[in-house]
Structure 1
Amino acid sequence: MNRQIFAFFLLAITSVLGCSKDDNEPLPQSSVSRLYVSNADTDASVMSTLIFDPADGATLDSPDRYDTKLPDGNGIVFDPFSGTVFQVSRQAKNIKSFTVKTDGSLADKGSFIDDGLTSGREIAFDRVRKTLYVASNTDSSIYVYQGVDTIKSSARASKKLKLNGQPWGIHLENDNLFVVIDRSSAQVQLFENASSLVVGTIVPSKKITVTGGIRLHGIAYSSSRDALILSDIGEEAGSGSTSDGKIYVIEAALAKFAAMGTAVSPTRIISGINTGLGNPVDVAWDIRAEKDLIYVAEKANKKIQVFKFSNNGNVSPFRTVTLNTSPEAIYLDAR
């Protein structure tokens, strides 16, 4: 009888632990639509973080502003399971976390500095393994912080993964890490079983090259829709640099990735003078059927722009708001 009781409790504990570590666990239900914006400004008087709440109304109203004291704010991500926002400062090499209160406002939760973090850009969070991934472009690396919710004060990355190009945008889904490679390569690299990657130089499982791509930056992907959205900032400076941005939509995306790499032509391209795209550094996607909207952080023209997923060509934004700050990274919580 005792053995039966022990076996029962062991099965119960195993079941609970298994549920707590399920990549496919449904998102907590909510009608919220909040857009988190990380500003790249370094002036101490500029608020580092904006929140549009709601982000799916008839207009984009004035955002809530927070002085998170993260100059040169870059990657920002929200975990709906713990109600936590993570944000990185490229200048201060500081990674902070915030609790999102019931009214949508932010409260300080944790903070640490990694003096070795060279150039923190986009970030991605693995909530199952409590791991934060940070892309660092200038040293072609991904910094991995395991147990990030317990790190305080100062720290070093648990793992430093070296790439064969400069990473910018990253996206993690079901332990698959998509990495946008900046500069002339115009690649998106896919690293399967990302949590198993070991320190040192890593090689992607599969990759694609975007035909016509110049400088890819932002990325959004949905496995349920199997569609990939990328932003291209175009020329860094000079004539046309504030009007040559593009958004690429690639449908039936995953099957296009190949071990040896392959050139892929986007399904649709949003570009042209009417779009107002000059330096679209990041993108987010509201995949809900009744919404289906692409949000864009347009840095050069200091705007947040919203396009329809079905848009193609030289179209005007569905919605737009002009800021007095320089948006660098965005994250949309829409459920």
Structure 2
Amino acid sequence: MLSLFVSAALVSCSDDDNDAIVINDGEPTSVKLYTSNNADGNITVYDVTDQSAVTSKTLITTSIAADGVYYDATNDFLLQASRTDLGLEGYNNTSSLVSGATLTVDVDGTNDMQSPREVAVNGNFIVVADNADVDGDPLTPDGRLYVYTKDGNTITLRNTITTSFKLWGITFDNNNLYAVVDATNELAVFSDFLSNTTDMTLAATKRIAVEGIVRTHGLTFDASSDVMILTDIADAANGQDDGGFHYIQNFTSKFNGVANGGTLEVSQQVRVSGASTLLGNPVDVAYDASTQTVYIAEAGNGGGRILAFNNFEAGGNIAPFINNSLAAASAVYLSK
């Protein structure tokens, strides 16, 4: 099967690109933040190469609402999960398009899903978290992970995994898939996830609680710095000022040090929250380890924003240094 995007060894998600910035004659390559939303389904691309002079362009899609987004710079391929068509939609050769350009779907996945959210990519596999209630009983939380393969301009559903908890954010670390346990403060991992090749119900390899979080939603893991970032939407009814994010250094050893069913203590984390942060319903997150910048898709505050934070290592009630309005922002992906 053909390799998807850069190579089979590259592992990415809709949050973050773990590659280091390539230096050419002392200048960094382009750094762009791809974002989707549930207001009009269009894709807004922010050029954050110079964080003091951020520019943006919006590409028009046929979707009315969308969530997980991903960009492969090597092949100039843009992907998002459409909540209108309930499938994956891919676009080739988008980098040179100007703001206001209308995208034509070049790679159209099958419309299998009910409520697609986060997207995670590993080689030629695309995994989408779906937060629809599988059995129709709200008293028995569950969700689905749809596993697709991409071969050229064809996206095919390989299999569907049913989980015993509600889903939202997902991200790969090599072949292990981390997933937030929606409506809780828990984090789960499925070891060697892609080896499960048939439709099945799959239990998480491990689940832990993350102290200090009320309701986690978005997550991203940067393998190069061993940093995990989790967002906390807290009370979903309050979309204005009770959210936050947790920055966890040396994540792998900390996670491994907590027993299945145990709790990662808040003393091992850094929490950013408070009215100045503008975090009310932070639904997704991306991280640039080279500049230590956290990017947030904030769905609630002010109707929706794209926020960026730095100098947050001490935690607390700090203001974002980038604050751009984006109605019903739903997902972010950093490409460089």
Find the counterpart in structure 2 of residue 234 from structure 1: 234
Matched residues in 2 for 1:28 and 1:319: separation? Answer: 20
How far apart are residue 212 of structure 1 and its match? 2.8
Deviation, structure 1 residue 183: 0.5
**Superposed CA RMSD:** 2.6
Q: 1:205 to 1:69 in 2, by over 3 A?
A: same
Structure 2 letter corresponding to 1:328? S
Aligned match for 2:129, one of 108, 132, 135: 135
Alignment partner of 1:197 is 2:196: yes
Q: Secondary structure, in 3 states, of the residue corresponding to 1:91?
A: coil
How many residue pairs match? The answer is 301
User: Is the Cα contact below 8 Å between 2:69 and 2:79 reproduced in 1?
Assistant: yes
The 1:98/1:183 distance shift into structure 2, 3 A limit, reads same
Matches within 5 A, 1:200-279: 200-237=200-237, 240-258=238-256, 260-266=260-266, 267-279=269-281
* TM-score (structure 2 length as normaliser): 0.81
| 2:137 corresponds to | none
Distance 1:167 1:118 in 2: 13
Q: Where in structure 2 are the equivalents of 1:307-318 lying within 5 Å?
A: 307-308=309-310, 309-318=312-321
Listed as ranges, the matches of 1:290-329 within 5 Å are: 291-301=291-301, 302-308=304-310, 309-323=312-326, 325-329=327-331
Which AA in structure 2 matches 1:37?
Answer: T
Structure with more helix by fraction: 1
Residue deviations 1:126-150, cap 9 Å, x none? 12xx111000012301000123544
1:1-335 equivalent positions in 2, closer than 5 A: 21-23=8-10, 29=22, 31-41=29-39, 46=40, 48-54=42-48, 56-61=50-55, 63-103=56-96, 108=104, 110-127=106-123, 130-138=124-132, 139=134, 140-147=143-150, 149-151=152-154, 157-184=157-184, 186-198=185-197, 199-237=199-237, 240-258=238-256, 260-266=260-266, 267-288=269-290, 291-301=291-301, 302-308=304-310, 309-323=312-326, 325-334=327-336
Structure 1: stretches of 5+ with no match in the other structure: 1-15
The secondary structure found in structure 2 opposite 1:274 is: helix
Q: State the shift of 1:69 in Å.
A: 1.4
In the aligned structure 1, how far is the partner of 2:50 from the partner of 2:299?
21
**TM-fit CA distance, 1:26:** 6.5
Cα offsets for 1:70-90 (capped at 9, x unmatched): 221100012234332210112
> Any idea what SS the aligned residue of 2:317 has?
coil
Tell me, yes or no, if the aligned pair for 1:218 and 1:231 is still in contact at 8 Å: yes
- Identify if the C-alpha distance between structure 1 residues 110 and 262 changes in structure 2 by more than 3 Å, giving closer, same or farther: farther
Deviations 1:215-235 (A, max 9, x none): 211111111211110111111
CA contact (8 A) 1:231 1:280 kept: yes
Q: What secondary structure sits across from 2:106 in the alignment?
A: strand
Question: C-alpha distance in 1, partners of 2:163/2:306?
Answer: 31
Give me the whole-angstrom Cα distance separating, in 2, the residues matched to 1:115 and 1:103. 29
Post-superposition Cα deviations, 1:86-140, rounded to whole Å, max 9, x if no partner, equal 101123213111224453668646333534311100001112xx11100001230
* Higher Rg of the two aligned structures: 1
Q: Is the 8 A contact 2:8 2:122 kept in 1?
A: no
Superimposed CA distance per residue, residues 16-56 of structure 1 (whole angstroms, 9 cap, x where no aligned partner): 9xx95434896794701101010111xxxx46110012354
Q: Percent identity?
A: 27
Cα distance in 1 for partners of 2:126, 2:36 equals: 17
Do the aligned partners of 1:293 and 1:306 also contact (CA within 8 Å) in 2? yes
Maintained 8 Å contact 2:34/2:43: yes
